[in-house]
Chain A
Amino acid sequence: MQAEQISIFLENKAGRLSEVTGILAKAKVNIRALALADTSDFGVLRLIVDNNAVAEQALKENGFTVRKTKVVAVEVDDRPGGLFNILEILKNAQINVEYMYAFIRQSGDKAVMVFRFDQSDEAITVLTENKITVINGKDLYKL
């Protein structure tokens, strides 16, 4: 049920993000979701794309340090309290969220959030038990 995300190490300097997106454009890889964590010196760019293998290869060929990480994509009701509901379930199960970010979706009444947990399997179990939809990787890349 887990999805795969690509993480890229970036120095904090002008033009690096544009370079990454340029490489992906050339490789005809579509970015579906993106989050950037940064410190004063460096950042970690996290991407959900429609083709991980092509993206990874293109980035590595251009000298980037790339790593694939497992994440969990979860459907969230697109209404006030939708995200709160999910986080409460996780809190009660004492599952820690390392980070999360939103996924772009063009239509529908559900939003999608991408989570990184310290215990992914437990998170998936508890979310499923609480009737929260976890989207598997293949479906996610096509959304």
Chain B
Amino acid sequence: MIYNIEYETMPREALESIQLKRLQATLSRVYATVPFYRKQFTSAGILPGDISKLNDMQSLPFTTKKDLRDNYPFGMFAVPMDNVVRIHASSGTTGQPTVVGYTARDINTWSELMARALVAGGATRGDIIHNAYGYGLFTGGLGVHYGAEKLGASVIPVSGGNTKRQVIIMKDFKPTILTATPSYSLHLAEAAEEMGFSFADFHFRYGIFGAEPWSEDMRQEIERKLNLTAIDIYGLSEVIGPGVSIECHEAKQGLHIFEDHFIPEIIDPDTGKVLPYGETGELVITSITKEAFPVIRYRTRDITTLNPEPCICGRTHVRMKKVSGRSDDMLIIRGVNVFPSQIESVLMQIEGVEPHYQLIVEREDNLDVLTVMVEVSENMFSDEVKQLQQFENKISKDIKEYLGVTAKVKLVEPKSIARSEGKAARVIDKRKI
């Protein structure tokens, strides 16, 4: 099934002509309304009118997460606040989160894209969708919610957490589609088992999983344990939220990017050079229909490959491979974005703590576990065990408070964190992604 046959199966030539028109309109608009973009274009010596074919956009400067932060909170909005009907923000940070806005039309666009995504992932009007993505500033919960309503499916806005109640709901309400982070879905499977239930007795057909990287191995495990077909969905709040791309359940070979709304490029993360289809690099996205928060050549930092070959499902939109990594040091812990530098600033705010630390990420019982190793400095070392434990608790509490992730804190001896060329290896990610 395809939700919007006209646009999702549009011949490439027609699609590209729509892309160009929409790109040109977006560029003119951001040039006129967002001082940041006007400055960017001016310093690159480009006027919106200079873009006369799609390839011309390669001369436009990139936009980075730092640019969004520098314009916190509403500096990148391209419409007056009067026209903004919704605000979301990236996971909290000690610095500045990135804030995104939506007009009523943006919400409508997003709902349509999520409806398309749900259908590509196997959903129909008749389905009951158990939506275990978090509701709130995070785009996951509301993104799926609006898409499900647009489609006309029944949505259970269960959000994250309260796992036992979720299991009871799955048993009693008989939902047929599960939307959650992949790690939480496995957690649900275990909780169900502990409560004496099996997913084999539930009624799920498809699960649509995203917001964190997951491997093919994990897909197989989820499909086996949850007795459903697992579909990968991709998105990021800076671009729109979930619904940038989705696998079709027919092929499960790459995620179709909704190209009538987004233009994807793959670049070499070091040189910024655009790479041809088939080559692996960093995904860069330009939104071409958004009103409140358009992004021009936004560097997602996600590593993938684009595949333009026709797909058996009939969609003509290019497919991106499952994201295989990041071109920066961002970690995704249970769906929350964490940069090592954020942990560092939490540590630096605690008296006596020196910034000698290491982050270890593991997957225990299918959930991400973050351990922060902190070297004990002379200033923080007390003869009393309880004071050292208070340090551990304080660090853990502050990380939870500022970053929204749970971390185990482990005090270690000075100089025990391996250093290479004098610089400590900050992150050891033991998850198999």
Asked if A39 contacts B383 (CB within 8 A), the reply is no
How many Å from the CB of B31 to the closest CB on chain A? Answer: 56
Contacts of A42 in B (CB 8 A): 376, 388, 410-412
Cβ-defined contact, A64 with B413, below 8 A: yes
Task: Decide if A9 touches B384 in the complex (CB within 8 Å).
Answer: no
B377 interface residue (CB < 8 Å to A): yes
- Size band of the A side of the interface? 20 to 34
Tell whether A10 is near chain B: CB-to-CB under 8 Å.
Answer: yes
Interface contact A41-B413, CB-CB below 8 Å: no
* Interface residues of chain B: helix, strand, loop or mixed (majority): loop
B414 surroundings in chain A (CB, below 8 A) = 63-65
Find out whether the CB atom of B383 lies under 8 angstroms from the CB atom of A10.
Answer: no
A44 CB contacts on chain B under 8 angstroms:
383-385, 388
User: A7 on the interface (CB 8 Å rule)?
Assistant: yes
Are B385 and A9 in touch, CB under 8 angstroms? Answer: no
CA–CA, A81 and B385, complex, Å: 29
Number of interface residues of B (CB under 8 A): 17
**Do B413 and A67 touch across chains, with their CB atoms under 8 A apart?**
no
CB-nearest residue of chain B to A16: B413
Given contacts A11-B413, A11-B416, A41-B411, contact A65 B376 (CB under 8 A): yes
B378, CB-defined interface residue at 8 Å: yes
Q: In the complex, A38 Cα to B377 Cα: how many Å?
A: 18
Distance (Å) between the CB of B209 and the closest chain A CB? Answer: 34
| CB-based contact B415/A9 at 8 Å | no
Q: Do residues A116 and B416 form an inter-chain contact, with CB atoms below 8 A?
A: no
- CB neighbors of A among B350-380 (8 A): 376-378
Listed A/B pairs (16) with beta-carbon separation below 8 Å: A5-B383, A7-B383, A11-B416, A37-B385, A39-B385, A39-B389, A41-B410, A42-B388, A42-B411, A44-B384, A65-B377, A65-B378, A65-B381, A65-B413, A66-B378, A67-B382
Q: A7-B381, A10-B413, A99-B384 are in contact. List 12 more A-B contacts (CB 8 A).
A: A38-B385, A39-B388, A39-B389, A42-B388, A42-B411, A42-B412, A63-B414, A65-B413, A65-B414, A67-B383, A116-B383, A116-B384
